[in-house]
Amino acid sequence: MRLEGKVALVTGASRGIGREIALELAREGADVAVNYSGSEARALETAEEIKKLGRNAIVIQADVSSSESVERMVKETIGAFGKLDILINNAGITKDNLIMRMKESDWDDVININLKGVFLCTKAVTRQMMKQRSGRIINISSIVGVMGNAGQANYVAAKAGVIGLTKTSAKELASRGITVNAVAPGFITTDMTDKLPEEVKAEMLKSIPLAKLGEPADIARTVIFLAGEDSRYITGQTLHVDGGMVM
């Protein structure tokens, strides 16, 4: 186990990639605060599974785009576990449409949760991590934030923004022993990608050199690497976990 005795907070951990990350952190020995926005039942399920692995887990409802609820979430985590070593900024939504058809509110919602949410959570944990003189912040971006994607202007802008935010946080916090990195998943099987039509999926497979979809576990394993001691000399980077889609 590589993360024994560590405390992690994972946003958007009730399902998909976030859930897998939370479970993998627990398998590596970390206690986990499971944040969710709407899916309480599934968040509780994730927490139950973590407890079955012999680790502690708490469940916290919070909207990452609200500074008040983010501050409460971080306080509750530190209150429950006494410290905070690892923050995984994973919460995200999509509201896809062509720019010509995209509503202003769809733009705002996605930017608020996927980009501003990362800023607010990062800001809220820095105090604790600076005091500890150590910390790991891992932001889940997306490969489309690097390459662009028709129909996802809001999502792509947010995910590209996360990469810039990752680099800036890394520079600001490096002197205090805190590393900040991003993971950019490619095409991963989740609820989010299951909604895509078959022909879109077939078309995407053609652009993946490893010729298959990724799994949430592929992202979770990368996050574990970035959360542990093995990556101590890496900061400000974005790791592409995409089967070679973007090189």
Residues 167-196: x/- map of binding to another protein (CB under 8 A)? -----x--xx--------------------
Is 26 annotated to bind ligand? no
Tell whether residue 157 is among the known ligand binding residues: yes
What number of chain residues touch another protein (CB under 8 A)?
6
Give the x/- contact pattern for another protein in 14-53, rule: CB under 8 A.
Answer: ----------------------------------------
Q: Residue 120: which residues within 8 A CB-CB, separation 6 or more? A: 64, 65, 66, 67, 70
3-state SS of the chain?
CCCCCCEEEECCCCCHHHHHHHHHHHHCCCEEEEEECCCHHHHHHHHHHHHHCCCCEEEEECCCCCHHHHHHHHHHHHHHHCCCCEEEECCCCCCCECHHHCCHHHHHHHHHHHHHHHHHHHHHHHHHHHHHCCEEEEEECCCHHHHCCCCEHHHHHHHHHHHHHHHHHHHHHHHHCEEEEEEEECCECCHHHHCCCHHHHHHHHCCCCCCCCECHHHHHHHHHHHHCHHHCCCCCCEEEECCCCCC
Cβ nearer to another protein, comparing 105 with 175? 175
Least spacing, CB of residue 214 vs another protein, in Å? 37
- By beta-carbon proximity to another protein, the closer residue of 95 and 176 is 176
Is 158 annotated as belonging to a binding site? yes
35 is in an annotated binding site: no
Q: Which is nearer to another protein, 171 or 195 (CB)?
A: 171
Q: What's the one-letter identity of residue 130?
A: M
Residue tagged active-site, from 142, 155, 179, 235? 155
- 232 among the known binding-site residues? no
Closest distance to another protein from the beta carbon of 82 (Å): 16
Task: Output 131 or 232, the one with its CB closest to another protein.
Answer: 131
Window 226-245: residues binding another protein (CB under 8 A): none
Active site residue 155: yes
Within 127-166, the residues that bind another protein by CB under 8 A are: 127, 130-131
Q: How would you class 91 by CB atoms within 10 Å of its CB: exposed for 0-12, middle for 13-18, buried for 19 or more?
A: buried
Bridge partners, 183 (sequence order):
140, 239
Residue nearer to another protein on the CB measure, 119 or 155: 119
Least spacing, CB of residue 7 vs another protein, in Å:
20
The answer on whether 236 is annotated among ligand-binding residues is no
Catalytic residue annotation: 155
What is the contact surface with another protein in residues (CB under 8 A)?
A: 127, 130-131, 172, 175-176
Which residues are annotated binding-site positions? 12-15, 90, 155-159, 188
